[in-house]
Amino acid sequence: MLLVYVLLMLTSGITDLWIFFRISQVAASKKNILSLGAVVLLLPILCGGVVELATFLEILFFIFYFRKSKKKDVATGSILIVGVADSIIDIITSILGELLSIEDEIYLNLLVPIVVISLTVFIIEIFYKHLHAYLISENRNVFIGLLFYLYVSTTLTTIFYRQTKKITSLSIFFTIFVLIQVVFAIATYGELINIQKHLLKKSQQDKL
């Protein structure tokens, strides 16, 4: 089981870094990779395996690390997306772990998380350009505020699962509600941006 934990920790850490660099487009320099990678890999150990605490401290460190950078807003938004993704991965993994009939505990604790992480990577690869565009737009502060709200919501849901340690109709409903909230919030923000662009274009045409 120790080997499984180490493999999951490495996979999760590498995935967090990949998502961050992919969305933020921050230079993946040797300094950044070593500094951020060390924090991402060591925090889960220092926090005694308390994932939520490790993720929270990870977010604080990334914000502090890029506080004087020109890309501080992009970095802040990107690491919040990482936090949201981590929480959703934990929630879905917990649900699948309860619902799937896998007797081998090693397969259950290793295979299910890797499948969910792989799916997350696939989704990020599809939408990372859109997310980056939102983080460099004039309304980036609104989007970052939205990401913070989603991070808090998904983290509270994850903590709820940690406490109950079982799947109930209420927990499934709450999880579906949060996931729909994530999709709806991002879709609504994107639509607001489109409306704003349309109004701006119309305003410019009226002036001509």
Burial grade of 181 (CB within 10 A; 0-12, 13-18, 19 or more)? middle
Name the pLDDT band for 188 (thresholds 50, 70, 90): confident
Measured CA to CA, the distance from residue 3 to residue 27 in angstroms comes to 32
* Contact (Cβ atoms closer than 8 angstroms) between residue 150 and residue 185: yes
Taking the CB of residue 66, how many other CB atoms lie within 10 A of it?
21
Distances (CA, A) of 177 to 85, 143, 171: 16, 20, 10
Which residues, in sequence order, are CB contacts of 82 under 8 Å at separation 6+?
A: 16, 19, 20, 55, 58, 59
Q: Report the SS3 class of residue 208.
A: coil
Q: What is the pTM of this model?
A: 0.83
Q: What is the tens place of the pLDDT at every residue in 7-24?
A: 878 888 899 999 999 999
Rounded to 10 degrees, the C-alpha dihedral 63/117/134/157 comes to: -70
For residues 41-66, give the mean pLDDT.
89
